[in-house]
Structure 1
Amino acid sequence: MNDSHYRPNNVLTKREREVFELLVQDKTTKEIAAELFISEKTVRNHVSNTIQKLGVKGRSQAVVELLRMGELKL
């Protein structure tokens, strides 16, 4: 295995990443739910799960941490 191409597993699931990519585009929970064809509750669950994984206190801190980690791009 070539170490220069190795990347550890991503912190986010595919769906969590999709939710947060839309969040950084200033989409509301309702808009994200409609775009991804999921319920608003499911969007909130993805956000909550990510906040717990990162050990932060809210959406804004989660976005900042994900940007810092290179998990999200603006």
Structure 2
Amino acid sequence: MSRFHHSILTKREHEIFLLLMKDYATKEIAKELGISEKTVRNHISNTIQKLGVSSRAQAMLELIRLGEFSLD
């Protein structure tokens, strides 16, 4: 059985939130992924909206709760 499940996140959203979980700032994420800070913020906003939460922190908690990320 595959350990992968269908993600509610796009590949890019997943990459961004993985870096957010590692305490990267928006500017650092943009540099790491070779995209603009505005694009990073747009992806974060889209994810927050998709999850029905109101902040990055709540989005991260919800993604952990949903099994998208683990704390190990």
| Length-normalised TM-score, structure 2 | 0.90
Give the structure, 1 or 2, with the largest relative contact order (CA under 8 Å, sep 6 or more).
1
- Distance 1:8-1:21 versus aligned 2 partners, 3 A rule: closer
Alignment-derived partner of residue 36 in structure 1: 33
- The alignment yields a C-alpha RMSD, in angstroms, of 1.6
Return the index of the structure with the highest Cα Rg.
1
Alignment-derived partner of residue 55 in structure 1: 52
Aligned residue pairs total: 71
- Percent of residue pairs identical: 63
| Length-normalised TM-score, structure 1 | 0.88
| Structure 1, unpaired ranges of 5+ | none
Deviating beyond 4 angstroms after TM superposition, the runs of 4 or more aligned structure 1 residues are: none
- Residue identity matched to 1:41: K
